[in-house]
Amino acid sequence: MKAVHFGAGNIGRGFIGLLLDQSGYEVTFVDVNDEIISSINQHKSYQVHFADETSDAVTVEHISGINSIEDPKAVTNAIIDADIVTTAVGPNILPVIAKAIAKGLVERIDIHREPLAIIACENMIGGSTLLKEYVYQEISETDQEGFDDLFGFPDAAVDRIVPNQTNANLLDVRVEPYYEWVVEKTFIQGELPDIKGITYVEELGPYIERKLFTVNTGHAATAYLGSCHGYETIDEALQGEAVMDTLNGVLQETGQALIEAYGFDAKAHADYIQKIIGRFQNPHISDEVTRVGRGPVRKLGPKDRFVRPASMYLEFTSAAPTYLAKAMAAALRFQNKSDEEAVKLQRMIQKKGPAAAFAEVSGLEQNHPITEAVMLEYEKLR
């Protein structure tokens, strides 16, 4: 069985590539980073290390790499032969890889009519659905009809903390032992891919929102608050009472919204929160606040980890959230010269003021109760 995976980065190698290999797939990584692709083709294996005291490292084999800039034809051929296509490139790159995926699918359908699942493993709601939209923008309406019967784009939630890597071997990855990969089976054409570690569900909504608004909201809140308090890593930030108290408040607020929306059991959700905070505190992982907070414009977006749960909270309680507002205010104060979005956000704030900048990235009006709550906290952080 053959898998094509776009993005040979932390999640690509440390999570998706690992599970595909363990399920018997030969994995072809597609990336634009020539150093990584050359190293994959030279060594044909790498090791995944686990950030705990007990687990042994696992070797991932049966791999190859394609540099999609240098050899687009090889990407097309790999998609023609693939039994599954996965991605972990970041939401902003989905429109870029959609072109290569569309070309591969158009040529594939002329050669054979085997169904195929294309799964975007990104931290976002509806990642595969969005990828499908980008792919369909690249093809004619007639081709689209043929595609619908063969190619499924099931949405997915992926959860595993993989920090920036500092290993001697470029390809090796150090990951937390925990993982969760949930895939919505409704839109899969043909048989469900037999991948060890995937949980198939009928409806992804509750899973992705519970994960995004607990793990990702909590992690990003810690990063922004930690950065404001001068901490460099997540575990350091959580040793300070101020950040920990606000994190707890944030997760109480998102928890209240999630319980109202999906009827999760309150005790089970409280346990889930504690488990997630424990993962953030893993002493075997050093995770920089700059990595976890990367892309603040995307993270303050209308459907992302802050604004969406804040809006749900407002809807259910008729009050703007306090702790989510503190975290969003800290995001507006996030400084990182190497992060394009952080630089862009600071420029917007300088030019238009914080309320107008927040309104623009969040999609909320300047006089919206959430914007007003964020501005109140923004002033306190001065």
51 has binding-site annotation: no
CB under 6 A: which stretch of 92-100, 193-201, 296-304, 343-351 binds ligand NAI? 92-100
21 touches ligand NAI (CB under 6 A)? no
Residue 60's identity, in one-letter code, is V
Q: Which is nearer to ligand F6P, 219 or 368 (CB)?
A: 219
User: CB 125 → ligand NAI: shortest distance, Å?
Assistant: 12
Q: Is 147 annotated as a binding residue?
A: no
Q: Which residue's entry shows tokens 């109202």?
A: 260
* 8 is an annotated ligand-binding site residue: yes
96 binds, among ligand NAI, ligand F6P, none (CB under 5 to 8 A by kind): ligand NAI
Distance in angstroms (rounded) separating the CA atoms of residues 242 and 226: 9
123 binds ligand F6P (CB under 6 A): yes
13 is in an annotated binding site: yes
By residue count, the chain amounts to 382
Q: According to the annotation, is 5 in a ligand binding site?
A: yes
Q: Stretches 25-33, 104-112, 254-262, 357-365: which one binds ligand NAI (CB under 6 A)? A: 25-33
**Smallest distance, ligand F6P to C-beta of residue 223, A:** 7
Residue from the set 67, 216, 254, 371 that interacts with ligand F6P by CB under 6 A:
216
Consult the annotation and say whether 9 binds a ligand.
Answer: yes
Q: How far does CA 203 lie from the centroid of its chain?
A: 19
Binding of ligand NAI at residue 68 (CB under 6 A)? yes
SS3 234: helix
Q: 321-348 b/e with 16+ CB inside 10 Å = b?
A: bebbbbbbbbbbbbebeebebbeebbeb
Is 270 labeled as ligand-binding?
Answer: no
- Total residues in contact with ligand NAI, by rule CB under 6 A: 26
Residue span binding ligand F6P (CB under 6 A) among the ranges 189-197, 212-220, 316-324, 361-369? 212-220
Q: Can residue 219 be called a binding residue for ligand F6P (CB under 6 A)? A: yes
Of these partners, ligand NAI, ligand F6P, none, which one is at the site of residue 295 (CB under 5 to 8 Å by kind)?
ligand F6P
Q: Which does 84 bind (CB under 5 to 8 A by kind): ligand NAI, ligand F6P, none?
A: none
**Cα distance between residue 176 and residue 49, in whole Å:** 8
Residue 27 engages ligand NAI in binding (rule: CB under 6 A): no
Least distance to ligand NAI, CB of residue 24, Å = 23
What is the enclosing helix (H) or strand (E) of 231?
none
- CA 54 to centroid of chain Cα atoms: 27
Q: Are 27 and 118 in contact (CB under 8 A)?
A: no
Q: Is 97 in the site for ligand NAI (CB under 6 A)?
A: yes
In 3D space, the residue among 95, 73, 68, 99 whose CA is nearest the CA of residue 5 turns out to be 68
Query: How many whole angstroms separate alpha carbon 276 and alpha carbon 238?
Result: 13
Using rule CB under 6 A, residue 12 touches ligand NAI: yes
Closest CA to 307 of 211, 206, 212: 212
Of residues 274, 234, 273, 242, the one with CA closest to residue 257: 273
Token pair in block for residue 145? 């009809």
Q: 93: which DSSP letter? A: G
**Contact call for residue 292 and ligand F6P (CB under 6 A):** yes
Contact at 8 Å (CB) between 165 and 10?
yes
d(CA 89, CA 104): 18
49 is in an annotated binding site: no
How many residues bind ligand F6P, per CB under 6 A?
Answer: 8
Backbone angles phi, psi at 94, to 5 degrees: -55, -40
Is residue 298 within 8 A of residue 91, CB to CB? The reply is yes
The residue (of 201 and 285) whose beta carbon lies closer to ligand NAI is 285
The residues that touch ligand F6P, with contacts defined as CB under 6 A, are 123, 161, 215-216, 219, 292, 294-295
The residues that touch ligand NAI, with contacts defined as CB under 6 A, are 6-12, 30-33, 36, 68, 88-91, 93, 96-97, 122-123, 158, 160-162
Residue list for the binding site for NAD(+): 3-14
Residue list for the binding site: 3-14
